[in-house]
Structure 1
Amino acid sequence: MKQNKIEFANSLRGIAALMVMLAHLYGVFWIDRATVAMLTFSPALPTSAATPWYISLLWKVPDFSWGLLGVGIFFLVSGFVIPFSLTSLSAGKFLLGRAFRLMPTYAAGFSLTLLGAYLSTCYFSSTWDYQPHEVLVHYVPGLRDIVGTRGFDAAIWTLEIEVKFYLVCALAIAWFRRQSKLVFFLPIVLGVLAFACSFWLRSFNTGEGTLHRLMLVAIFNCQYIIFMFVGVTVNYLYQGALRDGPAYVLIACLLFLFAVVWAAGPYAWSFAQLWNYALAVPIFLLAFVFPQYLRSSRLLDFLAAISYPLYVSHAVFGFFVLRWLIDHGVRPSLSLLFVSVLSIFMAWVIHRTVEEPTHSFGRRVAKN
């Protein structure tokens, strides 16, 4: 049973990656044509390119996003699995292992993103306006938001939050090793920091400058790291460090803090998106309580294996290929099928050629 409870998180990761791909290729490409045009340096998809009838069925519910639901599940899975790594490694070795886990695969996926954008500029005879420093800073997730360059990759914002979460966990590694409940003071500290920054911005907001930008970065990251501690709570419940009643009360408190930080801060304009993350919690808990329904299987294991490379590689490259196919008269449904299969295949290639060897090497380096 315990092994099944670990497997459920692995299976959820693969399902979440499919949700994000679905959101981009079957949603954003058709619904937010201006954003796609900006990311691919192309004219907006003309209105003559009719949206397939089934696209609207996927987006019937107001403010619902398959992508945000998938991201929410990703965050919860990270919060659940990361404490396992903290029990046997020093803070430095943990961060080194995470760097090998995160950066090489993202670099491969981001390179595919750049290739899609470049091919689009060639096809549409448009101007490439990314500066070299903007490109380079993307190759180190966690720096772009601090440096303050624009983001032109669909995955980088979540990886920036992941990196900050790793740093927070590394700072509290002694507590995690003892399975101390003191770790749950961390989201309180992050909440206080977010409220202080929000108060400063409301009271002394100049609307510009490095301090202003860094406070926005702090609020944004604190908000989602608080949410990730829901996954940490489930980890403590799994390991017996928390009992059922206190664990579920703590989850409710963390969700409340997450919502209050969001509503009180400068990102309140997007507060309607909250329920996507709130929905991810019962899905995650149901999978945790009934892991037998997400046992390891050939399909789920495959999706889990390619989940990270699929997440970081499919969006911009997929947008360009979709647009190219439609411009050449290929039916939208057939184009979507082709790009979906292509995205999964490219993710598998990155998994086998980059993710597997670098992750294995990183684990060996961290242990030794």
Structure 2
Amino acid sequence: MTTEPTAIPGDVARAMRDDLSSVAERTVAEIIVEVPSYADAFTGRMGQKIGNAVELALGGFLELATASTGADPSTPIGPALAAAYDLGRGEARSGRSMDALLAAYRVGARISWREMSATAVAAGLSVEQLARFAELVFAFIDQLSAASVAGHADELATTGRVRQRYLERLAALLLTGAAPEDLAAAAERADWAPPRTLTAVLLPEGKVRGAMVSLDGRTLRAADDVRDPSGAGELVVLLVPDAEGRSRPALLRSLDGRDAVVGPPRPWTEAQGSYTRALRAVQLDLVAEGSEPLDTEARLADLVLRADEPALADLRARVLAPLDELSPGAREKLTETLRSWLMHHGRRDAVAGELFVHPQTVRYRMGQLRELYGKRLEEPRTVLELTLALGVAPGPPSARIDP
């Protein structure tokens, strides 16, 4: 039974080393033919550098090949593996995947094996030693490939973290209302294509991942969260591109059941206005209907009326003062009638239908209100103040209370 040779003989290794430059050249030439995406990269000074890297890798391989049998065939060879790692990072910086590089490694392994084995056999390498040589070739290529994959992944991770910081910085500038020129510079730095508009969305941290699936890929997330005044936790701030017009209903549907608050669309450099509106709705603790998101565009009257709660309370107390002497029940009925009257612009039958009373009852109650308010009930200013105090949208300028 023959024993496995301990290593490739020194004289064979020397013959192979003498042929390294020509093997490297032929390897590069074959890679250019079989991996066309590298044709430009392998020309000029860059081509010379890559050729040198191939020769370095082959030299590293020969260092393995001349080691004793006890050496691990996958033992890293520092310079060659460092070069492979840097090559992987370079691919990531160039925006390329690992497909082309791994294809180049496969081509390189085949050509190198063909050329170097021919030299080795001519120099007297035995069959057993040739088998050992093949094992070392492919183990070494696996090491180079793994080093490049690691470099590619590390570069993507580093680039991703840096870009994420740039995007967060852009979001912070948008929320604080930075100057348009500063926003444009930040967007360029973050490699972020500005949209027409941005819409602020506030939602709980636990609902963000599910929401992001259906949102525009350019959606920005602020680094700092907003405290929920209800004490439920923190709210994440998202800035969603181009969710205006016909796209807004789709945005609202995608946020159904996610406890979201949605601001109005604003030109992207004015996104602070959308954020301020959404934040104000949160601070006022406006309540959405069912599982639907709170759409601030549908709650403008509430936002206006509750912009200054103490002032609204003072206004309500003043304009409803004529009802103070009434019993609670009578006060409630007349207030209810007055609110409906304002809402329906004095249409008695509509008021009666809403309150489920007879039109004559409406006429009677309005008579009581005229006695309490006198001519003030016909004054536009009083009508406006009553409308605000009772929380209904004012009617058109021509609307007035008719007998």
Asked if these proteins are the same fold (TM beyond 0.5), I'd say no
* TM-score category, normalised to shorter length: under 0.3
Give the structure-2-normalised TM-score: 0.21
Q: Which has the higher contact order (CA 8 A, sep 6+)?
A: 1
Structure 1 or 2: larger strand share?
Answer: 2
